[in-house]
Amino acid sequence: MPMGNFLSKELIARLPLYNRYFYEYFCSGLERVSSGTIAKKMGVAPSQVRNDLSKFTIAGQQGYGYSVKNLYMSISEQLGFHSVKNCVLVGAGAIGRALIGNKMFVNQGFRLLAAFDARGAGQTLNGLTVRPMETLRDFAAAERIDIAIVATPAEDAQAAAQQAYDAGARGFLNFSYTDLRLPPDAVAENVHLLDSLMRLSHKMSLNKQ
């Protein structure tokens, strides 16, 4: 059962990393892994890993480590991966085209059903036909869309997100360089590449000091 209300914001921020590493261990056939091995990949102390994973009902055993399968399944459930999420992509420009066909969607339970674009409708990208923007609302409502991935120019993002919200989407992965204004029952995760480059530049300047 998801326990998000009982986890710290810092641990919630680390959960995707734990999920990725346990997924890699699981796919490689590894059955058990130690806190020291996980800590080295995470870049934290083994005691931090033990403290983090103690929040789940699956305990590690000294000398034997943690069950990879059980913890992978538990963390995946906490992240909401126990059910398939239907997604649409809004904006089939450079970022949108890079996202279409990415295996991460299928591997982690995200089903990309359609792409929409105001200017590129009709083209086929990795087997996905780009649809006109004016069909977004009807399609999203009919297919019970959970998540809208917004990759439009900044000036078009709010209107696109509103259309998806009106059709039932409540999760938004926002690649547009603007902040979306959404009702309280919707959640957004921003991926602002320029912000990341600025943070990277700052870290590089600190290393030179």
Q: Supply 87's token pair.
A: 């997604």
Report whether pLDDT(80) > 50. yes
Q: Are 35 and 46 in contact (CB under 8 A)?
A: yes
Q: Which fold has domain 4-78?
A: Arc Repressor Mutant, subunit A (1.10.10)
The number of helices, as runs of H, and strands, as runs of E, in the chain is 9, 9
Query: In 30-176, which ranges are E strands?
Result: 32-33, 66-67, 85-90, 110-117, 124-125, 128-132, 147-150, 171-174
Return all residues near 161 (Cβ < 8 A) that are at least 6 apart. Answer: 90, 148, 150, 172, 174, 180, 182
Decide: helix, strand or coil at residue 73: helix
CATH 3.40.250.10 for domain 85-195, yes or no, is no
- pLDDT band for position 1 (cuts 50, 70, 90): very low
pLDDT tens track for 83-112: 789 999 999 888 888 888 776 666 667 888
The reported pTM is 0.78
Q: What angle do CA 95, 99, 100 make, to 5 degrees?
A: 120
Residue ranges, CATH 3.40.50.720, the chain = 85-195
Q: What residues does 173 pair with on adjacent strands?
A: 149, 189
* Residues carrying CATH 1.10.10.10, the chain: 4-78
How buried is residue 78: exposed, middle or buried, by Cβ count under 10 Å (0-12/13-18/19+)?
buried
Q: pLDDT by residue (tens digit) across 130-173? A: 999 999 989 988 999 999 999 999 999 999 999 999 989 999 99
Average pLDDT, rounded, for the chain: 87
Alpha-carbon distance of 3 to 175, in angstroms, equals: 28
**Interatomic CA distance for residues 125 and 147, integer angstroms:** 20
